[in-house]
Structure 1
Amino acid sequence: MPVLKNKLLSLLLLASAGLGLSESAAALDLSAYQGKVVYLDFWASWCKPCRQSFPWLAEMQQRYGKDGFVVVAVNVDKEKALADRFLTEMPHPFTVEFDPDGTLATRFGVEAMPSSVLIDKQGHTITTHAGFFEKNVDKYEQRIRAALSL
């Protein structure tokens, strides 16, 4: 059962119209990534598995960025300072957005941290998963490679 339930199109329409989104969330326009494979990752500073996932996300961005892969990490902390502190400790060669009101997380039906959605080049959701498990990184990477047709 997917954790992230809503359609990407709904998010794009709301983001582009700026309806009901916080200022930072309204700035997220996934249509800017058309033609790329996007790994949308929801995270929080207090989340221990997020600390494990960030180095892996950085590695995936560096490894596959040249092939059209983009990581967009969406922080859901209510206090940006908490996220900023986390980010000073964790290298992140990818885009970070802030969703303190949880608007995007709600629209995607996020129920756990981290939660991720892999989006294909046409903007369709390929897969979703909740949590980050070291034992599954090969599976996560295989999905990325398949989406990139590598």
Structure 2
Amino acid sequence: MGGLAGVVASAPAVNVGAEAPDFALRSAAGPNLRLSEHRGQVVMINFWATWCGPCRQEMPQLEEIFARYEPAGFTLLGVNIDEDSARALRLAEELGVSFPLLFDDTQDVSRLYDVQAMPMTVMVDRSGTVRSVHYGYRPGMERLYLEEVRALLRED
């Protein structure tokens, strides 16, 4: 079994063009949320942490994209990796975040997605295929996110 675990751990978890690994995480709204429940929607998965300055910087832009495109079939799953979900909730409230917040306090999903930088953003199309992966955040990246969201929403 140890050999298999090593093989799984060394394999890239998130590849553009591959199916996005499914997961279920506790949500701030209460019940667990599963990625596969959003099949048919364009999904942005954003891994973030309260200690991450760029994460805090991009959250208002992500909120704006979510608010604008949710009615068109887009959702954004904010996956927080902090051990203390209360800190994440306070920050999200402070920043006025309304998109679904999920808590990966054991970091199992972060390992599944091979998160190596904060923030990390994964774009998933309506069929569940990973279309892009972005590491980090720089001002202006929200324009790239907007282009990707619009293009994926136009696809059947």
Q: Which interval holds the TM-score relative to the shorter structure?
A: 0.7 to 0.9
> Equivalent residue for 1:24?
26
Q: CA deviation at 1:136?
A: 2.4
Gaps of 5+ in 2: 1-11
Q: In structure 1, how many angstroms separate the alpha carbons of the residues matched to 2:53 and 2:137?
A: 10
Q: Displacement, 1:93? A: 1.6
Q: Which runs of 4+ in 1 moved over 4 A?
A: 7-10
CA distance in 2, matches of 1:135, 1:9: 28
Cross-structure match for 1:39? 44
TM-score (norm 2): 0.80
Alignment partner, residue 108 of structure 1: 113
How many residue pairs end up in the alignment? 139
Alignment RMSD (CA, Å): 2.2
Out of 5, 29, 53, the residue aligned to residue 58 of structure 2 is 53
Please tell me the residue identity of whatever aligns with 1:34: R
Between 1:27-36 and 1:121-130, the stretch displaced more is 27-36
Q: Which has the larger radius of gyration?
A: 2
Deviation at 1:55, TM superposition (A): 0.5
Superposed displacement of residue 123, structure 1: 0.3
The equivalent residue for 1:68 is 73
Query: Is residue 11 from structure 1 mapped to residue 21 from structure 2 by the alignment?
Result: yes
- The answer on whether the counterparts of 2:62 and 2:142 sit within 8 Å (CA) in structure 1 is no
Q: Structure 1 counterpart of 2:126, which letter?
A: K
Q: Percent identity?
A: 32
Counterpart Cα distance in 2 of 1:44 and 1:143: 23
Residue pairs, 1:116-131, within 5 angstroms = 116-131=121-136
Greater fraction of residues in helix? 1
Q: Distance in 2 between matches of 1:51 and 1:142?
A: 21
- Structure 2 counterpart of 1:138, from 117, 137, 143: 143
Three-state SS of the structure 2 residue aligned to 1:24 is strand
Counterpart amino acid of residue 97 in structure 1: L
Unaligned runs of 5+ in 1: 17-22
